[in-house]
């Protein structure tokens, strides 16, 4: 089904829900078809190019990079303090031995991602309230909070009011407070999403709208942002977008102010009955998917070039085209993953150890020959990097 064939298809998915205490709540696609159509096609084209790249050669490494980057990003959006390297280290810990809350947040997100990825392996998988609660339970497991209970919907006492947002991002919003209203809206959100899925509304639209309305309902005391991004990614993953949905967390973190402000902008446009109120958030999401897929494509190409380079220098080592000292230098520079100042390289203890019993002429000759062979490059700023060809 092409939802852009007829304007009626948008209205067909408008759903008004009368709650007990919150008042009416409206789910709608609310997207300007003329603005979204081109971006949807560009994302689809980018995804096709990405899938046709030599992905299988580097899939495991790419998956690990995306995992760490995504968990670091989505955690920091919600106030996490771990660096990306600290996040990587936390994910390598035995979950049973994790004690620090910040490490627990990262490990919990890893568990939630695993649940999401395993769930969509079932071709009959569909979104459910139970699935959302399961993701929330995983994300907030053993995380201290005065009111939150993992997997349980919020029910505000009369003296405690939940607000979302702040003046810097378009104002504060008071989501539903009563458990019954929240439960009702969450069930309608799932029904609405699955109705669109059955009608073959593109996952790229469904996922972003699901994320948007989930955050407006704000069903839990803690972890709503993390849960919203995971369920968005799960819907996209189930539609065949394997890496980009989780890589989107980096995009959101890099544009965190715009990300938060768009929730309020679209909400106010909906309240004011402006046509196509959800267009800004959906376009923002589509632009993020396009950027994320293209970044992944570039990263795959970089990884493949690195593999070819690694194969080349091993061959040169085995055929005596380079000596073991030169091979060690190339390996260290390659494994660093980023350029380093040439002076820093020469002062490194491992580098100096290579020439403990050899003279400066040998040291200079080894380095010069690596540059002559194009295996090592020193740029104008004095940074050293592997001599990896940009074009294969």
391 pLDDT band, cuts 50/70/90, is: low
Q: What percent of the chain is predicted at pLDDT more than 90? A: 91
Q: Can you point out the beta strands (E) in the chain?
A: 15-18, 24-27, 340-341, 376-378, 383-386
- The predicted pLDDT at position 95 comes to 80
Q: 301-317 burial by CB neighbour count: b if 16+ within 10 A, else e?
A: eebbbbeebbebbeebb
Q: Are β-strands 340-341 and 383-386 bridged in parallel, bridged antiparallel, or unpaired?
A: antiparallel
What is the mean predicted confidence (pLDDT) over 298-317? 95
3 pLDDT band, cuts 50/70/90, is: very low
67-77 pLDDT, tens digit each: 999 999 999 99
Q: Can you point out the beta strands (E) in 3-147?
A: 15-18, 24-27
Q: 37-60 burial by CB neighbour count: b if 16+ within 10 A, else e?
A: eebbebbeebbeebeebebeebee
213-240 pLDDT, tens digit each: 999 999 999 999 999 999 999 999 999 9
Higher pLDDT, residue 287 or 390: 287
d(CA 366, CA 389): 21
- The predicted pLDDT at position 301 comes to 94
Question: Can you give the pTM of this predicted structure?
Answer: 0.91
Query: Has residue 7 got a pLDDT over 50?
Result: no
99 pLDDT band, cuts 50/70/90, is: confident
Query: Has residue 363 got a pLDDT over 80?
Result: yes
Query: Has residue 392 got a pLDDT over 50?
Result: no
- The predicted pLDDT at position 5 comes to 47
- The predicted pLDDT at position 1 comes to 38
112-140 pLDDT, tens digit each: 999 999 999 999 999 999 999 999 999 99
- The predicted pLDDT at position 10 comes to 63
Residue listed under structure tokens 């820093």:
344
Query: Has residue 2 got a pLDDT over 80?
Result: no
pLDDT, the chain, mean? 94
- Report whether 172 contacts 163 (CB < 8 A): yes
Residue 276: count of CB within 10 angstroms of its CB: 20
- The predicted pLDDT at position 97 comes to 83
175 pLDDT band, cuts 50/70/90, is: very high
Query: Has residue 186 got a pLDDT over 90?
Result: yes
What is the mean predicted confidence (pLDDT) over 290-298? 97
DSSP state of 255: T
Listed in sequence order, the residues at least 6 apart from 292 whose beta carbon sits closer than 8 Å to its beta carbon are 244, 247, 248, 250, 251
Residue listed under structure tokens 């196509």:
276
- Of 92-101, 196-205, 226-235, 332-341, where does mean pLDDT reach its minimum? 92-101
SS3 343: helix
320-355 pLDDT, tens digit each: 999 999 999 999 999 988 899 999 999 999 999 999
- Report whether 67 contacts 83 (CB < 8 A): no
Maximum pairwise Cα distance, the chain: 84
- Domains of the chain (ranges; CATH) run 8-299 (1.10.3290.10), 322-386 (1.10.10.10)
Q: For 105, what's the count of Cα atoms within 13 Å in the CB-facing half-sphere?
A: 25
SS3 341: strand
- The predicted pLDDT at position 389 comes to 73
């Amino acid at each position: 089904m092409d939802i852009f064939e007829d304007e009626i298809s948008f209205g067909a998915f408008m759903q008004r829900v009368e709650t007990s205490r919150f008042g009416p709540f409206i789910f709608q696609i609310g997207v300007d078809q003329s603005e979204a159509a081109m971006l949807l096609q560009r994302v689809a084209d980018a995804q096709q190019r990405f899938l046709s790249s030599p992905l299988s050669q580097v899939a495991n490494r790419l998956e690990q990079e995306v995992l760490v980057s995504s968990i670091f990003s989505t955690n920091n959006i919600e106030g996490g303090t771990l660096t990306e390297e600290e996040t990587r280290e936390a994910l390598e810990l035995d979950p049973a031995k994790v004690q620090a809350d910040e490490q627990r947040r990262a490990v919990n997100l890893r568990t939630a991602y695993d649940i999401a990825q395993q769930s969509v392996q079932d071709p009959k998988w569909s979104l459910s309230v139970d699935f959302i609660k399961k993701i929330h339970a995983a994300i907030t497991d053993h995380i201290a909070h005065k009111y939150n209970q993992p997997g349980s919907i919020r029910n505000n006492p009369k003296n405690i009011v939940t607000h979302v947002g702040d003046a810097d991002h378009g104002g504060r919003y008071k989501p539903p407070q009563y458990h019954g209203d929240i439960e009702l809206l969450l069930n309608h959100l799932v029904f609405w999403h699955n109705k669109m899925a059955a009608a073959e509304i593109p996952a790229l639209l469904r996922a972003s709208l699901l994320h948007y309305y989930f955050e407006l309902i704000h069903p839990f005391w803690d972890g709503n942002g993390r849960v919203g991004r995971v369920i968005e990614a799960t819907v996209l993953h189930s539609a065949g977008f394997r890496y980009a949905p989780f890589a989107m967390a980096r995009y959101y973190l890099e544009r965190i102010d715009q990300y938060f402000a768009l929730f309020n902008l679209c909400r106010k446009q909906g309240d004011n009955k402006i046509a196509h109120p959800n267009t800004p958030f959906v376009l923002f999401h589509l632009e993020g998917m396009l950027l994320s897929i293209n970044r992944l494509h570039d990263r795959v190409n970089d990884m493949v070039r690195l593999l070819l380079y690694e194969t080349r220098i091993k061959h040169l080592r085995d055929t005596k085209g380079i000596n073991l000292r030169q091979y060690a230098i190339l390996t260290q520079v390659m494994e660093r993953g980023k350029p380093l100042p040439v002076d820093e390289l020469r002062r490194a203890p491992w580098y100096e150890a290579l020439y403990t019993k050899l003279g400066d002429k040998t040291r200079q000759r080894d380095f010069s020959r690596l540059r002559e062979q194009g295996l090592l490059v020193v740029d104008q700023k004095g940074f050293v990097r592997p001599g990896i060809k940009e074009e294969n």
